Amino acid sequence: MATKVKLSKEADQKAEEIIAFHGYSSLDELVENLINNEYDKIKSEDNKEELAEKLTGLGYIS
């Protein structure tokens, strides 16, 4: 699935600096990495909530 995203001039300039600094090969690679990182954060936060609920149920957390 190819999706196009329109960036402002300012956002494009910032993206180019990030690409150069971190050594990404393209804007696509940068965006894909950012999406994967954010997705992992969301999933790990869900797991933390699940764990807290289980520990509360077991009486370890009140």
Instruction: Determine the length of the chain.
Output: 62
pLDDT over 70 percentage in the chain: 97
Q: Does a structural domain hold residue 16? A: no
> Is-above-0.75 flag for pTM?
no
Q: How confident is the model at residue 17 (pLDDT cuts 50, 70, 90)?
A: very high
Q: Which residue has the tokens 């993206």?
A: 15
Indicate the number of domains in the chain. 1
Q: Does a structural domain hold residue 2? A: no
Domain that holds residue 51: 25-57
Does the pLDDT of residue 1 top 70, yes or no? no
pLDDT over 90 percentage in the chain: 52
Does the pLDDT of residue 13 top 90, yes or no? yes
Q: Does a structural domain hold residue 46? A: yes
Q: Does a structural domain hold residue 8? A: no
Q: Does a structural domain hold residue 10? A: no
